[in-house]
Structure 1
Amino acid sequence: MAPLFFLLLFSQIFLCTAVDTINSTAPLSGTQKIVSKGGRFALGFYTPPQGNNTASGTGNYYIAIWYNNIPLQTTVWTANSDLPVSDPTTASLAIGSDGNLVLLDQSKNRQLWSTNISVASSSTVAVIQDGGSLDLMDATNSSIVYWRSIDHPTNTWLPGGKLGLNKTTGVSQRLVPWRNNANPSPGLFSLELDPNGTTQYFIQWNDSITYWTSGPWNGNIFSLVPEMTAGYNYNFRFINNVSESYFIYSMKDDSIISRFTIDVNGQIKQWTWVPASENWILFWSQPRTQCEVYGLCGAYGSCNLNVLPFCNCIKGFSQKFQSDWDLQDFTGGCKRNVPLQCQTNSSSAQTQPDKFYSMVSVRLPDNAQSAVAASSQACQVACLNNCACNAYTYNSSGCFVWHGDLINLQDQYNGNGGGTLFLRLAASELPDSKKSKKVIIGAVVGGVAAALIILAIVLFIVFQKCRRDRTLRISKTTGGALIAFRYSDLQHVTSNFSEKLGGGAFGTVFKGKLPDSTAIAVKRLDGLSQGEKQFRAEVSTIGTIQHVNLVRLLGFCSEGSRRLLVYEYMPKGSLELQLFHGETTALNWAIRYQIALGTARGLNYLHEKCRDCIIHCDVKPDNILLDESFVPKVSDFGLAKLLGRDFSRVLTTMRGTRGYLAPEWISGVPITPKADVFSYGMMLFELISGRRNADLGEEGKSSFFPTLAVNKLQEGDVQTLLDPRLNGDASADELTKACKVACWCIQDDENARPTMGQVVQILEGFLDVNMPPVPRSLKVLNESPDVINFFSDVSSSQTSQMHNSTASSQTKSSTSGGSQFQSS
């Protein structure tokens, strides 16, 4: 009898957890939740992890919807974001007497939230759908839906949801971020369709300042979002009629989990869930840099892209609400540490007048007011004479002063609207250069002179001994074998990592010099979780790989959690630096063709000539380095092998890499050498055109270069694709050959792409190549005026092939796969 009782009890518990409906007799309370029929979404009481006081057992609870089928709890909608519940056991989400869905707090005997609509029938139910929407519908006729949560988004835009404007009611469906990571109440930023009726989306600060726009809809894409042409697995539609305008999207593959959000720091982001790494991949974000977000750091806060966190208070100020800054909410800004002289109303002779602190190369704040002044000194006096004046600047345009808070500052800024700002501070905040310190200095010098001399002698002897020991230790290991450096040695040869060459998601690179004056590049790896034994084994394998087009690994360091790699130094820097940030004299065509061929040879060596096939996984101009003669060398190969399971997570944090990722990365199928071929093709387009693939052209018009290249190649007009800085000086045959190779490399079906060995043979002239077809991901602009397909179709058979193939089988199938590539 007892086993039967427990079996019946378990069945009842299982049925309760599978319920997807709230009705008049079954409200939701406490730890209960409802789950959609397909198990994709759940609704219940939720508390943000950072907002829960585990010590006291209390916290703020909200009615929320989250993904039920992924291990990382991620909310997509909240109801009572302004009025949290302190104890969910005394609150309930129920159907009210008027048919509305309401949240009641019995402990305070009040209603916290309601759908607040006119319902034709008081007999209603609320159902959680597999699309992530909570629907309030008629209890007797499910086709009658009165209200949907997906039509009232908070900070997340789900597939099937509208983001737009009801022209009849004037109600805007927009995204608003959480206040901070522990508080889902509305923040200062918002994404919405232009309420004035134009077909463009704005991101605004405080409903007043627009700091990003999508550009108007041109029938295919939003004009300032060229990245839309580079997506793969989305169907986008923009609807614009008399009654409403809105943007809506759906997934071509329902198994892929994706969402758009606006985060607490004012950026809109597109995320895709990757089951293999159990993490969200950041696929796209706008604005591109965090400091482009208006007012991110609040009043008297300044943004700096080179430090974390991005926001810091300027000199003489400190955080106004430290608890908010700890939760990544900087919008509260900073407060003045010492009041100005005029603010204290002091007339004492001992009170010094205010002074000015010079802030060089900053983005000047908004709302400047012009003042009459013929010189910088006169401009300073004009500011001092007004207690409301907090700063001034003087330049070729005249004198400008700022009254009130200083907002939207940025350090190390060299763009338009930048300059030197003179910040007004209390005199005590700045050193007094007129005050004599001779007596103090004399006393100190007299007392410690002897000690300093003795200490200097001792330090000199120790330094010389350490220097001789270090030089001997390093010189003993420079005979050609892989060097196992000490961390202290690398600190010394890089002058304590003082000269930075570059950086990215894998780490930062510094310049160094060995005792024999050999220049080296030292890469300090970040976030590597491998053990020391495994790291040394993997590095030893990579260190044996040598090729004229691969950057040579000279040594490594593995001490505790520190992992560093030492490479030969490339004096010409990266291809990205030479191609996009170089001098006015551009790389000529002969050098570009040499770079394209040499890079292909290096990748072919990794794919086919090593004992184990090495897939680079991150081919882009940043990772192609150039020696003194502009010979290309592939760098960072083997990092995928070193990073192991963490590699896909690292890729999510890289800036700019998404333009080179093959569709397989997002589709979730195993990665083969053909992923490198795709990235090589995208890089080859940039080498040909001398500009980034997705860029703004003349008059601010957006373009996606691979689309233009395919069309011009089909028309036989490849000369127009050449970098205009070359003035047409290029071999027509080589240019055509390079364009065809690039187009074949970016085919959606990886089986249609050539191997890197075939690319080498084509560029060397040993293989002929046919005219490539237009990839579906690029063809969409001409075929579908109303729908933007972000991911190319992959048939089930192709998917099966990709799942079952290895690197060697991919090479074999591509080598024998058709007549596109024929012997010359």
Structure 2
Amino acid sequence: MAPVFFLLPLLLGQILLCAAGDTINSSTPLSGAQKIVSKGNKFTLGFYTPPQGTNTSSNQGNYYIAIWYSNIPLQTTVWMANPDLPVADPTTAALTIGSDGNLVLLDQSKNRQVLWSTNISTSSNSTIAVLQDGGSLDLRDATNSSMVYWRSIDHPTNTWLPGGKLGLNKTTGVSQRLVPWTNTANPSPGLFSLELDPRGTTQYLIQWNDSITYWSSGPWNNNIFSLVPEMTSGYNYDFQFINNATESYFIYSMKDNSIISRFIIDVDGQIKQLTWVPASQSWILFWSQPRTQCEVYALCGAYGSCNLNALPFCNCIRGFSQKVQSDWDLQDYSSGCKRRVPLQCQTNSSSSQAQPDKFYTMANVRLPDNAQTAVAASSQDCQVACLNNCSCNAYTYNSSGCFAWHGDLINLQDQYSGNGGGTLFLRLAASELPGSKRSKAVIIGAVVGGVAAVLIVLSIVAYFLFQKYRRERTLRIPKTAGGTLIAFRYSDLQHVTNNFSERLGGGAFGSVFKGKLPDSTAIAVKRLDGVHQGEKQFRAEVSTIGTVQHVNLVRLLGFCSEGSRRLLVYEFMPKGSLDLQLFLGETTALSWATRYQIALGTARGLNYLHEKCRDCIIHCDVKPENILLDESFVPKVADFGLAKLLGRDFSRVLTTMRGTRGYLAPEWISGVAITAKADVFSYGMMLFELISGRRNSDHGEQHGSTFFPTFAASKLHEGDVRTLLDPKLNGDANADELTRACKVACWCIQDDESARPTTGQIVQILEGFLDVNMPPVPRSLRVLGESPDVINFFSDISSNQTSQTQNSTTSQTRSTTSGSSHLQSP
């Protein structure tokens, strides 16, 4: 009997652990290892401790009441009750219903101290807390489930879930905003925040320290936020902005509830939309702002500088070192850097041997904020003025005069060429900048040391050669962190691709091989041909390509640059390239709905490259082989940005590769400068192939010797577009979509590039937001006579505006970057 009695507390604990279901009430508080799970098993609530989240002084973990995804192996929290008041021991704490009906977190070890509360007034003290499948913990009346007093989803921490509000209560002035963790192990609020403008405008702001705004969404224009044009292609998202007398808020939902998506503000100060991909068991970045990491204000702290071409992005400037190294290791750079050697004026030294401070030249940097003007007639006078003031840490002199900095240097960026850039003269102790005599001694010492090092290296080179084979077989591939590119070794890529044995395909830029990382992640490795850039330039260009991320662009995971070897590592696309599915899929033809979504998604990806990136990226080789498909046939444009990598050799490679020439715009042949409209021409040629299911040049038997675009143009003018459809579809296609696609394709292949639409206009036409007129037949097709004198993309808004619309559109089409103002319901 005694052993059974001894086991009763353990059995009771297990019963309490499993019997809680999805509800907390006054008689079933949550404590210790207990959890509640939503009815559909999508979310779990319990005590959570972050990875590496230990108190180093006592080696005791910190625990927080949190909600996380139930079925995602990588434990990912979406809400936290007490981020700034952790619990040391969850067995002495309890989440329960208080006597006033509020949900409270009590610390029993501190005389039932209330660490957190929903802190609301309820009409009844008979309440329960229920965890919903949408990730919200709802406090509601125990007898009336429709009476909801409080929802965690409306009080977000660092994550904004579908269905939750992010806005401003105009009555109370309370703002629903996102605040990131301090670092990857500490969920206490960080310095950054995202919130609706508290001044009452309809724009969202990302701020540093509640004072400096470094990104804005732009105001709501009844359709999108004006500075977030990609909202027009929300893909799997529905958006809604509510603005009335009592509140303003933004809310979003998923079109497909099976997709797991979350919106966060990360520790690095960027806002990000992430989607969980079960196939790769990882979170994939869908969208982020600001686009580059260095646009985040004061990311690297005082005396830290951001560099887009370095990993990590943050480093201390000359003469400074990390102030709190442990924080930097956790991607928290806010503590900044500290001076290694005090300035001479700070030591109060009167010694005759004490050398005065000197200045270190930092060229091409983004100058820090809060400069003060100084009176100086020359750069030398400006230097003297700074040197005579002990609080002056740096100065610059330019055409606008002399400027000095007397406080911490914040928001620096290396290799910067934008507005606000220049040369900064940084004040350092003389010992940080050795004089000429010492320099000579250092040089002599370096030469002697170098010779000795060479001798040592030569003596052991045989040993290293002997170990090379074993070393190359041992993979040391680092894991990605926050989207950072991996610098792979060539030997590692040889190993993961089985010595490049499984070739997926090839094209103008080189061959592609399948590989698998040690964690079983499938990858595609592209071995580049014709790249003659130096190491530094290649890494800089790859870094730029790596920052470009969109749901319709193939994600770059890493690269390899060793000697003449240049390789790029991409995410693997299980459905392969579009040409394989379109031209070789004789038994399982792509449906019309799938083809139309491929056409639309490809246009969205190209539009992002042309209009949404900091610098316009022209693909230069749009064709089915460069459109890859994921498991759900979502198209992703591949090989973007590679034209810049190949430099002057690119045009020669492109025009000599078989299969590419059929997609080249006339500009390539005439030798004029190439613009984004060259991609539009190639897209139009590819769109014809999506419609017909065959290469444009492979229709000879069916249509005589007529080139398919020529045949398509004539049938479009006759109103007989059904004959253009792939026979394998048996006529199963949406008539409006088919007509729209044919019109777009014909507009895209116009001889005059100014007559072609932009990719942004293509997206709007395919989405049905913009109607399009019948296109003229390109002169180069030599059918149906000459093109009309007035070329007009879009249908007139009304009959009494015909001439005005034609004149406006004619003006637009003479510009290669024309945008449409003729939006209407078709």
Check conservation: 1:524, 1:565, Cα contact below 8 A. Answer: no
- Alpha-carbon distance change, 87 to 670 in structure 1, aligned in 2, over 3 angstroms: farther
Query: Structure 1 residue 671: deviation in Å?
Result: 11
Corresponding position: 1:37 with 2:39 = yes
Check conservation: 2:22, 2:39, Cα contact below 8 A. Answer: yes
Q: What letter is aligned with 1:542?
A: R
Query: Structure 1 residue 551: deviation in Å?
Result: 2.7
SS at match of 2:87: coil
Check conservation: 2:233, 2:604, Cα contact below 8 A. Answer: no
Query: Structure 1 residue 568: deviation in Å?
Result: 3.2
Instruction: Report the equivalent of 2:212.
Output: 209
Check conservation: 1:36, 1:129, Cα contact below 8 A. Answer: yes
Instruction: Report the equivalent of 1:72.
Output: 74
Q: What letter is aligned with 2:707?
A: G
Q: Of the candidates 530, 550, 564, which is equivalent to residue 569 of structure 1?
A: 530
Q: Distance in 1 between matches of 2:383 and 2:533?
A: 46
Q: Distance in 2 between matches of 1:262 and 1:180?
A: 12
- Alpha-carbon distance change, 17 to 42 in structure 1, aligned in 2, over 3 angstroms: farther
Instruction: Report the equivalent of 2:196.
Output: 193
Q: Of the candidates 375, 382, 385, which is equivalent to residue 382 of structure 1?
A: 385
- Alpha-carbon distance change, 436 to 182 in structure 1, aligned in 2, over 3 angstroms: closer
Instruction: Report the equivalent of 1:551.
Output: 510
Q: What letter is aligned with 1:335?
A: K
- Alpha-carbon distance change, 761 to 222 in structure 1, aligned in 2, over 3 angstroms: farther
- Give deviations 1:739-761, integer Å, cap 9, x for gaps: 6445567xxxxxx6554734886
Check conservation: 1:178, 1:185, Cα contact below 8 A. Answer: yes
- Alpha-carbon distance change, 531 to 755 in structure 1, aligned in 2, over 3 angstroms: farther
Q: Distance in 2 between matches of 1:350 and 1:210?
A: 47
Query: Structure 1 residue 352: deviation in Å?
Result: 1.2
SS at match of 2:110: coil
Overall identity of the aligned pairs, in %: 62
Q: What letter is aligned with 1:228?
A: M
Corresponding position: 1:129 with 2:132 = yes
Instruction: Report the equivalent of 2:114.
Output: 111
Q: Of the candidates 733, 756, 765, which is equivalent to residue 707 of structure 2?
A: 765
Q: Distance in 1 between matches of 2:236 and 2:739?
A: 20
Q: Distance in 1 between matches of 2:292 and 2:679?
A: 35
Instruction: Report the equivalent of 1:319.
Output: 322
- Give deviations 1:30-67, integer Å, cap 9, x for gaps: 00011111111111100001204699772000000111
SS at match of 1:757: coil
Instruction: Report the equivalent of 1:262.
Output: 265
Corresponding position: 1:225 with 2:228 = yes
- Alpha-carbon distance change, 124 to 441 in structure 1, aligned in 2, over 3 angstroms: closer
Query: Structure 1 residue 19: deviation in Å?
Result: 1.0
- Give deviations 1:233-280, integer Å, cap 9, x for gaps: 111101111111111011111111111000001000001111111111
Q: Distance in 1 between matches of 2:673 and 2:445?
A: 73
Q: Of the candidates 343, 347, 370, which is equivalent to residue 344 of structure 1?
A: 347
Query: Structure 1 residue 359: deviation in Å?
Result: 0.9
Q: Distance in 1 between matches of 2:71 and 2:556?
A: 38
Query: Structure 1 residue 738: deviation in Å?
Result: 5.0
Corresponding position: 1:399 with 2:399 = no
- Alpha-carbon distance change, 72 to 773 in structure 1, aligned in 2, over 3 angstroms: farther
Q: What letter is aligned with 1:569?
A: G
Higher RCO (CA-CA < 8 Å; seq separation 6+): 1
- Alpha-carbon distance change, 211 to 722 in structure 1, aligned in 2, over 3 angstroms: farther
Check conservation: 1:684, 1:742, Cα contact below 8 A. Answer: no
The range that moved more, 157-166 or 672-681, is: 672-681
Check conservation: 1:231, 1:777, Cα contact below 8 A. Answer: no
Q: What letter is aligned with 1:113?
A: W
- Alpha-carbon distance change, 553 to 254 in structure 1, aligned in 2, over 3 angstroms: closer
Q: Distance in 2 between matches of 1:131 and 1:390?
A: 52
Instruction: Report the equivalent of 2:25.
Output: 23
- Which residues of 2 match residues 442-591 of structure 1 at below 5 A? 531=495, 535-536=498-499, 539-542=500-503, 549=508, 551=510, 567-569=528-530
Query: Structure 1 residue 566: deviation in Å?
Result: 5.7
Instruction: Report the equivalent of 1:647.
Output: 572
SS at match of 2:503: helix
SS at match of 1:347: coil
SS at match of 2:96: strand
Instruction: Report the equivalent of 2:63.
Output: 61
SS at match of 1:377: helix
- Give deviations 1:326-363, integer Å, cap 9, x for gaps: 11100111111111122122222121111111111111
Q: What letter is aligned with 1:692?
A: H
- Give deviations 1:453-495, integer Å, cap 9, x for gaps: 9989x999999x9xxx9xxxxxxxxxxxxxxx99999xxxxxx
- Alpha-carbon distance change, 734 to 166 in structure 1, aligned in 2, over 3 angstroms: closer
Runs of 5+ consecutive residues of structure 1 not aligned to the other structure: 470-484, 490-503, 509-522, 582-616, 624-634, 641-645, 652-661, 663-668, 699-720, 746-751, 785-824
TM-score by length of 2: 0.64
* CA RMSD after TM alignment: 5.4
SS at match of 1:31: coil
Q: What letter is aligned with 1:425?
A: L
Q: Distance in 2 between matches of 1:302 and 1:365?
A: 10
Check conservation: 2:526, 2:567, Cα contact below 8 A. Answer: no
Q: Of the candidates 300, 305, 311, which is equivalent to residue 303 of structure 2?
A: 300
Q: Distance in 2 between matches of 1:740 and 1:202?
A: 39
Check conservation: 1:722, 1:728, Cα contact below 8 A. Answer: no
Query: Structure 1 residue 694: deviation in Å?
Result: 3.5
Q: What letter is aligned with 2:370?
A: N
Q: Of the candidates 282, 286, 289, which is equivalent to residue 283 of structure 1?
A: 286
Instruction: Report the equivalent of 1:85.
Output: 87
- Alpha-carbon distance change, 151 to 694 in structure 1, aligned in 2, over 3 angstroms: same
Corresponding position: 1:158 with 2:161 = yes
Query: Structure 1 residue 116: deviation in Å?
Result: 1.1
- Alpha-carbon distance change, 70 to 565 in structure 1, aligned in 2, over 3 angstroms: closer
Q: What letter is aligned with 2:612?
A: A
Check conservation: 2:64, 2:86, Cα contact below 8 A. Answer: yes
SS at match of 2:74: coil
Runs of 5+ consecutive residues of structure 2 not aligned to the other structure: 473-482, 543-551, 559-565, 582-587, 617-664, 722-737, 742-761, 771-826
Check conservation: 1:34, 1:44, Cα contact below 8 A. Answer: yes
Query: Structure 1 residue 413: deviation in Å?
Result: 0.9
Q: Of the candidates 660, 671, 692, which is equivalent to residue 610 of structure 2?
A: 692
SS at match of 2:202: coil
- Alpha-carbon distance change, 33 to 566 in structure 1, aligned in 2, over 3 angstroms: closer
- Alpha-carbon distance change, 214 to 454 in structure 1, aligned in 2, over 3 angstroms: closer
Q: What letter is aligned with 2:367?
A: L
Corresponding position: 1:180 with 2:141 = no
SS at match of 1:150: helix
- Alpha-carbon distance change, 31 to 422 in structure 1, aligned in 2, over 3 angstroms: same
Q: Distance in 2 between matches of 1:46 and 1:697?
A: 43
- Alpha-carbon distance change, 680 to 359 in structure 1, aligned in 2, over 3 angstroms: farther
SS at match of 2:129: strand
Instruction: Report the equivalent of 1:98.
Output: 100
Q: Distance in 1 between matches of 2:201 and 2:444?
A: 72
Instruction: Report the equivalent of 1:140.
Output: 143
Q: What letter is aligned with 1:757?
A: R
- Alpha-carbon distance change, 453 to 274 in structure 1, aligned in 2, over 3 angstroms: closer
- Alpha-carbon distance change, 426 to 685 in structure 1, aligned in 2, over 3 angstroms: same
Check conservation: 1:216, 1:223, Cα contact below 8 A. Answer: yes
Instruction: Report the equivalent of 1:716.
Output: none
